Structure 1
Protein backbone atom coordinates (compact mmCIF):
# COMPACT_ATOMS: atom_id res chain seq x y z
CA UNK A 1 0.00 0.00 0.00
CA UNK A 2 1.27 3.43 -0.92
CA UNK A 3 1.28 6.35 1.58
CA UNK A 4 -1.05 9.20 0.79
CA UNK A 5 0.24 12.54 -0.48
CA UNK A 6 -0.24 14.08 2.97
CA UNK A 7 2.03 11.52 4.59
CA UNK A 8 4.66 12.02 1.87
CA UNK A 9 4.61 15.78 2.37
CA UNK A 10 5.30 15.70 6.07
CA UNK A 11 1.80 16.58 7.27
CA UNK A 12 2.74 19.90 8.86
CA UNK A 13 4.85 20.69 11.88
CA UNK A 14 2.06 20.04 14.35
CA UNK A 15 2.23 16.30 13.77
CA UNK A 16 5.97 15.79 14.06
CA UNK A 17 6.65 12.71 16.17
CA UNK A 18 3.19 11.30 15.64
CA UNK A 19 3.03 7.68 14.54
CA UNK A 20 2.72 7.26 10.78
CA UNK A 21 3.93 10.75 9.85
CA UNK A 22 6.66 10.84 7.20
CA UNK A 23 9.33 13.31 8.30
CA UNK A 24 11.20 13.46 4.99
CA UNK A 25 14.56 12.21 3.83
CA UNK A 26 17.85 12.71 5.63
CA UNK A 27 18.52 16.43 5.93
CA UNK A 28 14.92 17.36 5.10
CA UNK A 29 13.18 16.44 8.33
CA UNK A 30 9.72 17.86 8.74
CA UNK A 31 9.30 19.50 5.36
CA UNK A 32 8.75 18.89 1.70
CA UNK A 33 11.60 17.64 -0.41
CA UNK A 34 13.06 20.47 -2.41
CA UNK A 35 13.64 19.82 -6.06
CA UNK A 36 15.21 21.97 -8.73
CA UNK A 37 17.15 24.22 -6.32
CA UNK A 38 20.81 24.44 -7.25
CA UNK A 39 23.32 26.48 -5.30
CA UNK A 40 26.93 27.06 -6.22
CA UNK A 41 29.77 28.03 -3.95
CA UNK A 42 33.51 28.21 -3.86
CA UNK A 43 35.64 26.87 -1.05
CA UNK A 44 37.62 29.45 0.95
CA UNK A 45 40.93 27.77 0.11
CA UNK A 46 40.16 28.10 -3.60
CA UNK A 47 39.61 31.85 -3.46
CA UNK A 48 43.12 32.77 -2.32
CA UNK A 49 45.09 29.58 -1.74
CA UNK A 50 48.29 31.33 -0.62
CA UNK A 51 46.71 34.20 1.29
CA UNK A 52 49.07 35.02 4.17
CA UNK A 53 51.26 31.97 3.55
CA UNK A 54 54.55 33.87 3.38
CA UNK A 55 53.71 36.05 6.38
CA UNK A 56 52.70 33.01 8.43
CA UNK A 57 55.76 31.08 7.28
CA UNK A 58 58.12 33.76 8.57
CA UNK A 59 56.51 34.10 11.98
CA UNK A 60 55.85 30.37 12.40
CA UNK A 61 59.46 29.61 11.52
CA UNK A 62 60.69 32.18 14.05
CA UNK A 63 58.39 30.81 16.75
CA UNK A 64 59.57 27.24 16.20
CA UNK A 65 63.23 28.27 15.95
CA UNK A 66 63.15 30.32 19.14
CA UNK A 67 61.48 27.47 21.02
CA UNK A 68 64.16 24.94 20.00
CA UNK A 69 67.36 27.00 19.73
CA UNK A 70 68.57 26.39 23.30
CA UNK A 71 68.28 22.62 22.88
CA UNK A 72 70.77 22.42 20.01
CA UNK A 73 72.75 25.69 20.12
CA UNK A 74 74.24 25.12 23.58
CA UNK A 75 75.80 21.72 22.77
CA UNK A 76 76.82 22.96 19.29
CA UNK A 77 78.69 25.95 20.74
CA UNK A 78 80.30 23.80 23.44
CA UNK A 79 81.42 21.29 20.81
CA UNK A 80 82.76 24.06 18.57
CA UNK A 81 84.85 25.60 21.37
CA UNK A 82 86.11 22.17 22.46
CA UNK A 83 87.21 21.24 18.93
CA UNK A 84 88.73 24.72 18.41
CA UNK A 85 90.72 24.34 21.65
CA UNK A 86 91.90 20.87 20.60
CA UNK A 87 93.04 22.09 17.17
CA UNK A 88 94.89 25.08 18.64
CA UNK A 89 96.49 22.84 21.29
CA UNK A 90 97.59 20.39 18.59
CA UNK A 91 99.11 23.20 16.51
CA UNK A 92 100.95 24.49 19.58
CA UNK A 93 102.28 21.08 20.57
CA UNK A 94 103.54 20.47 17.03
CA UNK A 95 105.14 23.91 16.78
CA UNK A 96 108.76 24.77 17.62
CA UNK A 97 107.76 26.31 20.98
CA UNK A 98 105.56 23.38 21.92
CA UNK A 99 108.24 20.82 21.10
CA UNK A 100 110.76 22.81 23.12
CA UNK A 101 108.38 22.92 26.12
CA UNK A 102 106.93 19.38 26.02
CA UNK A 103 109.37 17.54 23.71
CA UNK A 104 111.23 15.74 26.48
CA UNK A 105 108.09 14.21 28.01
CA UNK A 106 106.97 12.23 24.97
Structure 2
Protein backbone atom coordinates (compact mmCIF):
# COMPACT_ATOMS: atom_id res chain seq x y z
CA UNK A 1 0.00 0.00 0.00
CA UNK A 2 1.33 3.43 -0.91
CA UNK A 3 1.50 6.12 1.70
CA UNK A 4 -0.17 9.42 0.87
CA UNK A 5 2.02 12.37 0.02
CA UNK A 6 1.60 13.80 3.50
CA UNK A 7 2.73 10.51 5.09
CA UNK A 8 5.56 9.98 2.61
CA UNK A 9 7.94 11.56 5.09
CA UNK A 10 10.28 13.25 2.66
CA UNK A 11 8.59 16.65 2.84
CA UNK A 12 9.58 17.43 -0.75
CA UNK A 13 6.83 17.61 -3.36
CA UNK A 14 6.42 14.45 -5.39
CA UNK A 15 6.30 15.27 -9.11
CA UNK A 16 4.48 12.01 -9.91
CA UNK A 17 1.41 12.86 -7.86
CA UNK A 18 -1.31 14.67 -9.80
CA UNK A 19 0.34 14.39 -13.22
CA UNK A 20 -1.45 12.20 -15.72
CA UNK A 21 0.58 11.25 -18.76
CA UNK A 22 -2.34 10.21 -20.95
CA UNK A 23 -3.49 7.04 -22.63
CA UNK A 24 -1.13 4.52 -24.17
CA UNK A 25 0.38 6.03 -27.32
CA UNK A 26 -0.38 9.64 -26.38
CA UNK A 27 1.76 10.44 -23.38
CA UNK A 28 0.73 14.00 -22.59
CA UNK A 29 3.14 16.83 -23.20
CA UNK A 30 2.92 19.64 -25.72
CA UNK A 31 0.94 19.06 -28.89
CA UNK A 32 2.97 18.20 -31.96
CA UNK A 33 2.92 20.66 -34.84
CA UNK A 34 2.89 19.77 -38.51
CA UNK A 35 1.48 16.26 -38.04
CA UNK A 36 -1.70 15.51 -39.96
CA UNK A 37 -3.63 12.31 -39.40
CA UNK A 38 -6.31 11.02 -41.70
CA UNK A 39 -8.76 8.29 -40.88
CA UNK A 40 -11.47 6.29 -42.53
CA UNK A 41 -14.54 5.03 -40.77
CA UNK A 42 -14.68 1.27 -40.26
CA UNK A 43 -18.01 0.98 -42.07
CA UNK A 44 -16.64 2.82 -45.12
CA UNK A 45 -13.78 0.39 -45.69
CA UNK A 46 -13.86 -2.69 -47.89
CA UNK A 47 -12.21 -5.44 -45.81
CA UNK A 48 -12.08 -7.91 -48.71
CA UNK A 49 -10.51 -5.57 -51.25
CA UNK A 50 -7.82 -7.47 -53.18
CA UNK A 51 -8.04 -10.55 -51.00
CA UNK A 52 -7.82 -13.09 -53.85
CA UNK A 53 -5.01 -11.26 -55.64
CA UNK A 54 -3.01 -10.84 -52.42
CA UNK A 55 -3.57 -14.46 -51.40
CA UNK A 56 -2.22 -15.79 -54.69
CA UNK A 57 0.81 -13.54 -55.03
CA UNK A 58 1.68 -13.43 -51.33
CA UNK A 59 1.58 -17.24 -51.18
CA UNK A 60 3.83 -17.43 -54.24
CA UNK A 61 6.30 -14.90 -52.79
CA UNK A 62 6.49 -16.64 -49.42
CA UNK A 63 6.83 -20.09 -50.98
CA UNK A 64 9.57 -18.86 -53.30
CA UNK A 65 11.50 -17.56 -50.30
CA UNK A 66 11.19 -20.81 -48.32
CA UNK A 67 11.26 -23.54 -50.95
CA UNK A 68 14.97 -24.38 -50.56
CA UNK A 69 14.46 -24.96 -46.82
CA UNK A 70 11.77 -27.64 -47.17
CA UNK A 71 11.97 -29.08 -50.70
CA UNK A 72 15.38 -30.87 -50.47
CA UNK A 73 14.52 -32.64 -47.19
CA UNK A 74 11.14 -33.68 -48.60
CA UNK A 75 12.73 -35.07 -51.78
CA UNK A 76 15.41 -36.88 -49.76
CA UNK A 77 12.75 -38.27 -47.42
CA UNK A 78 10.63 -39.46 -50.35
CA UNK A 79 13.54 -41.29 -51.97
CA UNK A 80 14.60 -42.77 -48.62
CA UNK A 81 11.08 -44.06 -47.93
CA UNK A 82 10.78 -45.38 -51.48
CA UNK A 83 14.10 -47.23 -51.12
CA UNK A 84 13.10 -48.62 -47.70
CA UNK A 85 9.72 -49.81 -48.98
CA UNK A 86 11.27 -51.51 -52.02
CA UNK A 87 13.97 -53.09 -49.84
CA UNK A 88 11.33 -54.35 -47.40
CA UNK A 89 9.30 -55.86 -50.21
CA UNK A 90 12.42 -57.53 -51.60
CA UNK A 91 13.52 -58.93 -48.25
CA UNK A 92 10.04 -60.36 -47.65
CA UNK A 93 9.82 -61.86 -51.13
CA UNK A 94 10.80 -65.40 -52.11
CA UNK A 95 14.11 -64.21 -53.66
CA UNK A 96 15.04 -62.06 -50.64
CA UNK A 97 14.31 -64.85 -48.18
CA UNK A 98 16.36 -67.25 -50.28
CA UNK A 99 19.29 -64.80 -50.46
CA UNK A 100 19.39 -63.94 -46.76
CA UNK A 101 18.08 -67.22 -45.27
CA UNK A 102 21.46 -68.26 -43.88
CA UNK A 103 22.22 -64.88 -42.22
CA UNK A 104 19.57 -65.28 -39.50
- TM-score, normalised to structure 1, is 0.55
Bigger fraction of residues in helix: 1
The separation in 2 between residues aligned to 1:27 and 1:65, in whole angstroms, is 43
1:79 aligns with 2:77: yes
The separation in 1 between residues aligned to 2:69 and 2:32, in whole angstroms, is 53
The aligned length equals: 70
Q: What's the CA shift for 1:103?
A: 1.2
Q: What's the CA shift for 1:69?
A: 1.2
Secondary structure, aligned partner of 2:49:
coil
Match runs of 1:31-42 below 5 Å = none
- TM-score, normalised to structure 2, is 0.56
Match runs of 1:86-105 below 5 Å = 86-105=84-103
Moved over 2 A (4+): 44-49
Aligned CA distance change for structure 1 residues 58 and 44 (closer, same or farther; 3 Å)? farther
The separation in 2 between residues aligned to 1:98 and 1:74, in whole angstroms, is 31
1:43 aligned residue: 40
Secondary structure, aligned partner of 2:47:
coil
Larger radius of gyration: 1
1:19 aligned residue: none
The separation in 1 between residues aligned to 2:98 and 2:32, in whole angstroms, is 94
Q: C-alpha root-mean-square deviation of aligned residues, in Å?
A: 2.7
* Structure 2: runs of 5+ lacking an equivalent: 1-30
The separation in 2 between residues aligned to 1:103 and 1:56, in whole angstroms, is 61
